[in-house]
Amino acid sequence: MADRYLQAGWEGKPVDFHFVMDTHAHLGMNVDFVVMDGSVEGMLRCKDKMGIDLTAISSIPGTIGGWTKGNDEVIEAVQKYPKRFLGYVTVNAHDPDSVVPECERCWDAGFKALKLHTGQKLNYDHPNIQPALEFANDKGCPILCHVWGRELDHMEPLIEKYSKSIWLLAHAGCADKEKYVKVAQNHENAVLETCYSRCPKGLLEYFVDEGLEDKSLWGSDADFYASTHQFGRVLFAELSEEIKKKMLCDNARRVFGV
């Protein structure tokens, strides 16, 4: 029987034979590039063509700039399309007094996870970020962290301390791929999130060879990256259909409880 994922990719058809989740995407504009259609509906049109049922989103201005009003965009999307979007809380780490109230506000609005980014020029072990980590740990919710190699140097003690949360290491393999693998292997509550613009051949297969087929989750990082571009990395990977389904569906369902 032909690989259904390959067939969908070659024919430009949606993966509509099981639930699919994108664990890493963004709403809002960025000063460094133009998004042709950055609207919620624009994202949904793209996801519909691919067969993506649920997308976990955070605000670009909120994630990088700490602009907490960016969470309002996500609130609007989550409440308008509750079956299509899952919200990540973003915080302003430079205003520590606002961190817990903003987490509570977003959680009450239906958010289910926390997103952190070193674009705010603070490491994740900075005291200002600890209230957000404590909040997430108390909720037992996932934490998606921007990771571009160097962040791994200070994250392991945090992964151990805040063990009720599952930590998603974004852009897995973009630098020092062995480090990502080691952290995911050493910590039950650490998993890999796969989005990476260069997408070197064999990277996903490498994660599987290292025993991480149950700890690899697909994400697009839209609209920084094209969703279709990142989707193809899984569809055309030299992996079994069973493993592709884990990356696109099963692992995300387990981590996010959806």
Residue ranges covered by each domain of the chain: 4-9+19-256
**How confident is the model at residue 34, as a pLDDT?**
67
Interatomic CA distance for residues 249 and 258, integer angstroms: 10
Q: Find the mean pLDDT for residues 9-22.
A: 97
The fold for domain 4-9+19-256 equals TIM Barrel (3.20.20)
Q: Find the mean pLDDT for residues 125-138.
A: 97
Q: Name the pTM for this structure.
A: 0.95
Q: Find the mean pLDDT for residues 92-103.
A: 94
**For residue 158, which amino acid is it?**
L
Which has the minimum average pLDDT: 56-65, 180-189, 224-233? 56-65
pLDDT in tens, 28-53: 766 566 666 678 998 999 999 999 99
